[in-house]
Amino acid sequence: DIIRKFIHRAEQSIQARVFRRNTRRCMANGGLLVAVVGGDGAGKSTAIDELYNLLAKKINVLKLHMGKPRWSWMTIAARGALKIGTLLRLYSFEMISEQDIYTSAANTDRFPGYPSLIRMVCTARDRYLTYLRARRFSSNGGLVLCDRYSLPGFMIMDGPQCSRLTKSIKSKGLINLLVKLESWYYRQIMMPDLLIVLKVDPEIAVQRKVDESESSVRARSREVWELAWERLPARIIEADKPQAEILAEIRTLVWSYL
């Protein structure tokens, strides 16, 4: 028994000092990966911040943003090279912005350009790496809170873009490679343990989100509003209610899964 205690203490010390893991605050029955999705103005970030502040003192909690993942070194290098090319006017086209992806301007037959496709593949890879980090943390007994989540084949938002933007373009070797690579990254992302959907009327979302383009906010909110969420194991919360009621529902739902 004494030997086992010393081994356990040594393991805890290595986990804490080498791998930066606080094993004393892990959940004994396993971790949990929670994803909160919804359109702009639905209150995703506010809900996740509230949950994090509530639970971080009791258990290991990791807060991630899959919609805007942390850039890997490969993404930094690729985006840097693309930026230099843009400044030197090496391309005859402009890169599509993230907001334009959801508007009608991005759904034309015009080729979006290789720089845009490369940037989308980099985003897919960063989301995949974020997913791996989330799964690893939850498998070690922690709680992961994801702001937005990739649901390939169901949502345009945070899903594959290359195939959608090049479907009317004559097939080429490099285009096919980028499409397949982006699709592969998204196929590796499995469903979270708990998927919470915040639905808000698109017009209410536009009134709340005044710091972004009205057309893109309306388009993203309409997508969430109109999707058939009953096809997925999702827990739907109407987000047009007072914020206190929404947060109370989310807290109760998360606690029931812990």
| The predicted structure's pLDDT at residue 104 | 45
CA dihedral sign of residues 150, 218, 169, 126: negative
Bridge partners, residue 119, by sequence: none
Q: How are strands ordered across the β-sheet holding 32-38? A: 61-65, 143-147, 32-38, 194-199, 234-238
Q: What is the DSSP string of 60-117?
A: -EEEEESSSPPPPHHHHHHHHHHHHHHHTT--SSPPPPTGGGGSGGGGSSS---HHHH
| The predicted structure's pLDDT at residue 189 | 94
| The predicted structure's pLDDT at residue 171 | 67
Total count of residues recorded for the chain = 258
| Residue 13, C-beta contacts closer than 8 angstroms, at least 6 positions apart | none
Burial class (CB in 10 A: 0-12, 13-18, 19+), 7: exposed
| The predicted structure's pLDDT at residue 105 | 45
111: left (phi over 0), alpha (psi -120 to 50) or beta: beta
Q: Tens-of-pLDDT digits for all 258 residues of the chain?
A: 888 878 877 876 776 677 666 655 666 666 899 999 988 888 888 889 998 998 888 888 999 999 899 999 999 999 898 888 878 877 766 556 555 555 544 455 677 778 888 999 999 999 999 999 999 998 888 899 999 999 978 888 888 888 888 877 776 788 889 999 999 999 999 999 999 999 988 888 888 887 777 777 888 888 888 888 888 999 999 888 888 888 899 989 988 887
| The predicted structure's pLDDT at residue 183 | 94
Question: What distance in Å separates the CA atoms of residue 108 and residue 86, rounded to the nearest whole number?
Answer: 22
Question: pTM of the prediction?
Answer: 0.83
Give the H/E segment covering residue 236. strand 234-238
What is the pairing mode between strands 234-238 and 194-199? Answer: parallel
